[in-house]
Amino acid sequence: MWFLWSFSDPRNPSIFRRSPFKCRRRFRSATLSIHRSIVAKVQVQVPLESMAVSYFHIVQSGRGFHKGNLSYANCSSKGRRTHRLVFASIHTSDPKVDSLLDSVKWDNKGLAVAIAQNVDTGAILMQGFANREAVATTLSSRKATFYSRSRSTLWTKGETSNNFINVHDVFLDCDRDSIIYLGKPDGPTCHTGAETCYYTSVFDLLKQKEDEGNKLALTSLYALESTISQRKTELTGENEKPSWTKRLLLNDQLLCSKIREEANELCQTLENNEDKSRTASEMADVLYHAMVLLAQKDVKIEDVLQVLRLRFSQSGIEEKRSRVSQKPSDH
């Protein structure tokens, strides 16, 4: 099974569109006219009713070449331009991918909900819909790819903004009708420039706080980071008695002595066999004070988690430590 994936003008790479076609009927064979200048004879193999995007089977591929699961066809042109049709096989070289895509419970439009989540912070970046083609593309390209219902076309987040979401893993839910693209964004995901698309708090709106500016949907760790960072911006020109966070930000010596003190107290909960709630509380203290230091150094907790992920995915942390402990002088 093949579908028309894109067409491009080899002399003008900026003209490059993905799946710009919508077929509303079941074709056995059809001649499609594309942008007045390209003609391709295609045969549809699958019931279109169940598809969000029409799939095509190439009958006459014209002159062209194959590369992986992509087939490039140079097409006859009525005008002065030569165009290239790019067909992609959804039945990739890997039948396991096909069988996996078969197991997804696509809705009656051939879609499933796809949620992009930041692998380090857990922030929900955006939510879209994916069809079979979008998931297949995501799995092969490792870039979060969706199906735009309004434009009836496949789109890879970042194809215009360059803020791709680099997918590390894809998860299906228990019903197999909802998908998580767990990945690392190259930059802000929202077209507004916001880090994520979820910056409108309903409870703030109800309290008529809209004018106070947007508030990202932040989980506990990042809400704390955000407040510490806010305190830092408020440091200058303040006359009131500063908060504890501000005092720490104004006094490196105090901050460092607190971090050492809290780390010590965390250890004591183990050494003195204190109860679990005490450990949680002391760890919270360590985390909070260390995060003030991060803010002081302009380091994001996301960067720290990325360090852990990279070390960890290479089993590096354990390896490095093993090495270090054998040669303590290195550390």
Site for a copy of itself in 8-27 (CB under 8 A): none
User: Read out DSSP for 81-138?
Assistant: --EEEEEEESS-S-HHHHHHHHHS---TTS-EEEEEEETTT--EEEEEEE-HHHHHHH
Task: Return the closest-CA partner of residue 84 out of 69, 72, 67.
Answer: 72
202 near a copy of itself, rule: CB under 8 A: yes
Give the helix/strand (H/E) hosting 240.
none
Kindly state the tokens that stand for 89: 């096989």
Residues 226-285 that bind a copy of itself (CB under 8 A): 227, 243-245, 247, 252, 255-256, 259-260, 262-264, 266-267, 269-271, 276, 279-281, 283-284
Q: How many Cα atoms are found within 13 Å in the side-chain-facing hemisphere of 133?
A: 27
Q: Looking at 12, 45, 219, 230, which residue binds a copy of itself (CB under 8 A)?
A: 219
117 near a copy of itself, rule: CB under 8 A: yes
Q: Looking at 120, 130, 155, 164, which residue binds a copy of itself (CB under 8 A)?
A: 120
81 near a copy of itself, rule: CB under 8 A: no
Q: Looking at 199, 229, 232, 234, which residue binds a copy of itself (CB under 8 A)?
A: 199
176 near a copy of itself, rule: CB under 8 A: yes
Q: Looking at 102, 174, 213, 327, which residue binds a copy of itself (CB under 8 A)?
A: 174
32 near a copy of itself, rule: CB under 8 A: no
The residue among 86 and 305 lying less far from a copy of itself, judged by its C-beta, is 305
Residue 231: what are its φ and ψ, rounded to 5°? Answer: -60, -35
70 near a copy of itself, rule: CB under 8 A: no
Task: Return the closest-CA partner of residue 305 out of 225, 190, 215.
Answer: 225
211 near a copy of itself, rule: CB under 8 A: no
Residues 134-173 that bind a copy of itself (CB under 8 A): 139, 169-173
CA angle, residues 153, 140, 21, in degrees to nearest 5? 20
Q: Are 73 and 63 in contact (CB under 8 A)?
A: yes
Options 31-39, 48-56, 67-75, 310-318: segment touching a copy of itself (CB under 8 A): 310-318
